[in-house]
Structure 1
Amino acid sequence: MNTAAPARPTPPRTPRRRLAAFLHRHAGVRLSLLLSAPALWLGLAYLGALAALFVTAFWSTDTFTGDLVRVPTWRNFQDLLTADVYRTIALRSVGVAVAVTLIDLLIAFPMAFAMAKLASPRAQRWLVIAVLTPLWASYLVKAYAWRVMLGSEGLLGWGYGLTATVLTLSYLWLPYMILPIYAGLERLPDSLLEAAGDLGARGRRTFRTVVWPLALPAVIAGSVFTFSLSLGDYITVKIVGGTSQLIGNVVYDNIGAANNLPFAAAVATVPVMIMLIYLAAVRRTGALENL
């Protein structure tokens, strides 16, 4: 007697099933659909905004009515290149960004190394939380806290200016340097450090030949954050910078008080170009390929 179960009928191939089967066979199409929404958002919100910025930089403002004149002109960029004050402000902004990046690197690297290689797993979790905790507070709260400390009757009493700006920005962006370096050092195998010690390398040589080359991509990743964020910041300069002027302040003042949006857009292209040059220089080292 045949006891075999009857064959189940083949389910109908609905459009949904056909689509699922097609996506299963074509991984590239499936990946493209998954990335379409983020790519669309990037194109509209970021690249679209940059395109509008560059277009506006070639417009001008009517000196009598204050209306935008949508006629292409190089006048804004000519003013930027010929006026000494704007070159000084650009160099000052780059100097502040470099100083903040170096200060954060000097503080972040030892701390990240201790977190990744010296602390216990439980202590690592608490240290990561401690690094992230300042990010939960408002930017303005932290900036005004430094204003209180740096005021004439504050805890430090150093006053306002570029030094106060560098200190405040170094504090604000320090977590963005610690976390990438910590992630890079955590991937560094302990066996490499042990092998260097077994071969007779002292701490300085181990750092120079083993730790630093492998951690360099993470350092560059952190520097991109601290450098770019410092280069375009204007709120901290307004709060603790006193009479100091950086690129961000020039952009803000021309949008608000001066009501010269085209010139503000032209000034805003300066940090964009500086970051493109920086990323191109970093890419030539090959560090970004190992991130």
Structure 2
Amino acid sequence: MTLAASAFLYRRPRLRLGLLLSAPLLWLGLAYLGALAALFVTAFWSTDGFTGQVVREWSLGNFHTLFTDAVYRAVTLRTMGIAALVTVVDAVIAFPMAYAMARVVPPRARPWLVIAVLTPLWASYLVKAYAWRAMLSGEGVLHWLLAPLGLDTPGYGLPAVVITLAYLWLPYMILPVYAGLDRLPSSLLDAAADLGARPARAFRSVILPLTLPAVVAGSIFTFSLSLGDYITVQIVGGTSQMLGNVVFSNIGAANNLPFAATVALVPVVIMLAYLAAARRVGALEQL
């Protein structure tokens, strides 16, 4: 029986592949796509203002509130701005680091540098966030370093959120850029040098265009992770709010699950549009 089944599956590679992928696809459908479907449906419900119970009747009231209330528009724009700024900061920091790892240091040292980049990811998210809270405080390490120069720490608020998130997600930008630079043929750089291109011109005309998909691939991580974050804002953001904080407050104190689902759909829609744009530049092939 076993030999017959093996022979049957051997002659049908598509069926064999389908059986192999059935379990993970089933899990993906139930745990991820099913959760998104439930989120989408819940966004069209409402909450009874007197009893606090969810009213399972279709309505666009939550979307009307989200799009017409100036507070929620400001929170949405602030969240997108923070996510974009974190992505830019990480790209500026990650590119020279990744270039040094891929092109400057000896090949034997590269695995150790990759491990060094991954090491911060082994520490707890909360530990790193609270460490930055301590450093950004008026009595933290940054205050001791900047005080002799007549400067002070940015304190708590949006700058602290950008700094903390940029630190947290930096490895997710370094690794894709490093992989893209490592695949870059050295012959192209040699050809650019032979044609008289200075380093700055070679960077603009050869290196940056060919590694742009890798940078965009890294930005998918940094942008999406920043877009959905809310713990960092609570720790170092002061009175600032992002979309994640609005979702959290409506799940907890306000007990308005339908509106929380509506707000939670905003990052999903933004990321779908971002992924569609990233796909056009070939970033998804770099993941």
Q: Does the pair score TM above 0.5? A: yes
The equivalent residue for 2:149 is none
1:93 pairs, out of 79, 104, 108, with: 79
Which runs of 4 or more aligned residues in structure 1 lie more than 6 Å from their structure 2 counterparts after TM superposition?
none
Q: 1:235 to 1:145 in 2, by over 3 A?
A: same
Q: 1:189 to 1:285 in 2, by over 3 A?
A: closer
Aligned partner of residue 255 in structure 2, secondary structure: coil
**Alpha-carbon contact 2:250-2:259 (below 8 Å) kept:** yes
1:1-291 paired onto structure 2 within 5 Å: 15-156=1-142, 157-288=153-284
Letter in 1 for 2:219: S
- TM-score after normalising by structure 1: 0.92
Aligned partner of residue 259 in structure 1, secondary structure: coil
Offset at 1:281? 2.2
**Alpha-carbon contact 1:152-1:158 (below 8 Å) kept:** no
**Alpha-carbon contact 2:217-2:278 (below 8 Å) kept:** no
The equivalent residue for 1:10 is none
C-alpha distance in 2 between matches for 1:286 and 1:218: 9
Aligned partner of residue 141 in structure 2, secondary structure: coil
Offset at 1:216? 1.4
Letter in 2 for 1:171: Y
Uncovered stretches (5+) of structure 2, i.e. residues with no partner: 143-152
Note the alpha carbon deviations across 1:31-83, whole angstroms, 9 max, x for none: 22222122111111111111010011111111111111111111100100110
Instruction: Please say which structure displays the higher CA radius of gyration.
Output: 1
Which stretch of the first structure deviates more once superposed, 120-129 or 163-172?
120-129
Question: In angstroms, what is the RMSD of aligned CA positions?
Answer: 1.2
C-alpha distance in 1 between matches for 2:105 and 2:17: 39
The equivalent residue for 1:9 is none
Offset at 1:289? 5.0
Paired residues, what number?
Answer: 277
**Alpha-carbon contact 1:23-1:29 (below 8 Å) kept:** yes
Offset at 1:94? 0.4
- TM-score after normalising by structure 2: 0.93
Note the alpha carbon deviations across 1:252-287, whole angstroms, 9 max, x for none: 000011111100000000111111111222233444
